[in-house]
Amino acid sequence: MRWNYERALTAQGWRHDVAVTVGADGVLTEVAPDRPGVGERIRGVAIPGIANAHSHAFQRALVGLTEHRGETRDSFWTWRDAMYRLAAAVTPDVLNAIAAQLYVEMLKAGYTAVCEFHYLHQAPVGGRAMGQAVIDAAARTGLDLTLLPTLYMTSDFGGAAPNEGQKRFVHSVEDFLRLRGDLRTDGMVMGTAIHSLRAVPPPALAELLAGLEADSPIHIHIAEQRKEVERCLEVTGARPVEWLLANAAVDQRWNLVHATHVTEAEMAGVRAAGATVVLCPTTEANLGDGIFPAESFLAEGGSISIGSDSHVSVYLAEELRLLEYGQRLITGERNVLAGMREPHTGVHLHNAAALGGARSSGRATGVIAPGMRADIVVLDDQAPALFGREDGHLMDAWIFGGFANPVKDVMVGGAWRVRDGRHPDEDAVAAAYRAAISRLKTV
C-alpha cells in the first residue's frame, strides 16, 4: 500500500510530496519526501497519530450530569459518588455501546489508539464480559487498544474496606491476574493498571508486580488530589510519588496519571526513572484537581502523554491548548511550554504527547518514519481555521484556534478509519449509544 501526502511532519521535520509505503502488518516501510506522483495522492497535512493515554470509557455517559451544585460545595469527592451510581448501572452491552461511541469520537478528534483504564469488573455482570465489551468496541471502530485491567482492593490508605460504590471494582491479586490472562486478545496490547496507592495496599502491590511480564505498560492514578497527598503522608509518612519511587522499581514501563501535586524532587525522580506523566487537562480542570507543573518537568526532559479521562472533552487539540493555558495562568507569560529546539508551542506539545503516548500505549507510534506503525492523521489545510498557515503555524492554528475540527482523514495501522471527517459506522454506533443511554438509570 502506498500513499503520497502533500505535506507531512516526518522524523526529519516538515516535508512535501511524501510517499509512504505500508506493509501488510501496518508498519511503515518507506517514508520518502519530494516524490510527487508516487502513490495515491492525499490532500492535506499529515501528522503522527497520538494515543489517548487515559480513558474510563463508561464515564462518557456521565457528561453533563454533574454540572449542578447541591446543598454543599461540590468537589472531586462528591463527583465520585455520582460516578459510582453510574458504574453500578452499566452492563456489558451498555458499556460496549458507550465505548464504541467514544472511540469513534476519539478517531475523529485525531487519536489513533487508547489506553483503557478498565475497572468495571464485577456485578451485575463481571469478569470477562465487561472487558470483552471494551475489546469489541475497539475492534468495531478500528481504534488501537491498550487494555489496562485495573486492580482495586481498598477504599483508603491503611487497608480500609471498599465502600458500597467500590465493591464492583474489587479483586484479589490472584483473581486479577487470572482475569488479565482471560482477556488477552490478538492485536491488542495488554497492560496493567493499579488504581491508586490508596486502593492497593503495599503487600498486594508487591505481589502484583512480581506476577507481571517485564515489558508491558503499568499505569497508576497518583497525587491527583491534595486530600490524597495528605492521607498518604498521614499513613505512610511519605507523599504518594515519593512513596512509589522508594518502594517500587519504577522505570520506563510506568505511567503516572495526573501527578498533579508533586515536588521538584519527585519530578526529578520520575524523570530519572524514565516514567511518563499522563496529563488529562480538561478532566483535571473539570474536577478541580489542580495544574501539573509542566514547565520545569518538560524543560528538564520529562516525558508526558495526554488522556481525556472522564471525557468531558474528547478533542485532542483542546487538551493540548488547556495544558499550555494553565501554565500561562500560573506564570503570566505566553508560549511557556515551547521547546528550545521547537519554538512552535503547538508542534512541541503535539510531538511530546505523540512520543509519550507511544510509551504509555506500548506501541511503536508517535513519528512518521520507517519501522513505525502507520498511525497518521490528516488535517484539512483548506479549512478556514488553517487556511494560509504553513507548517508550524498550521499546527499552532489547530491547537490554539478553537475553531471547527479540521481532522479530515485518520489512518490506524495502515487502514483508513476516518475519511473526509466521517467514520463509516458512526451512524449505527450513535444509534446504539442513544439506545443504551435511554436504558441507563438517571444518576
Q: Please list the active-site residues.
A: 258, 309
Please state the separation of Cα 306 from the chain's center in Å: 5
Please report where in the chains the cell 511530546 appears, as a residue. Answer: 352
Note whether 300 and 339 are within 8 A (CB).
no
- Pair 228, 257: CB distance under 8 Å: no
Instruction: Give the CA dihedral 98, 99, 104, 107, nearest 10 degrees.
Output: 140
Helix (H) or strand (E) holding 284: helix 281-286
Residue 272 grid coordinates:
530519572
Percentage helix, strand, coil for the chain under 3-state DSSP, each rounded to 5: 40, 20, 40
Residue type, 412: V
Task: Give the distance between the most distant pair of CA atoms in the chain.
Answer: 66
Given a contact cutoff of 8 angstroms between Cβ atoms, the answer to whether 62 and 30 are in contact is no
Q: Which of 374, 418, 371 is nearest to 26 (CA)?
A: 374
Residue position matching grid coordinates 519530494: 34
Evaluated on CA atoms 158, 162, 168, 173, the torsion sign reads positive
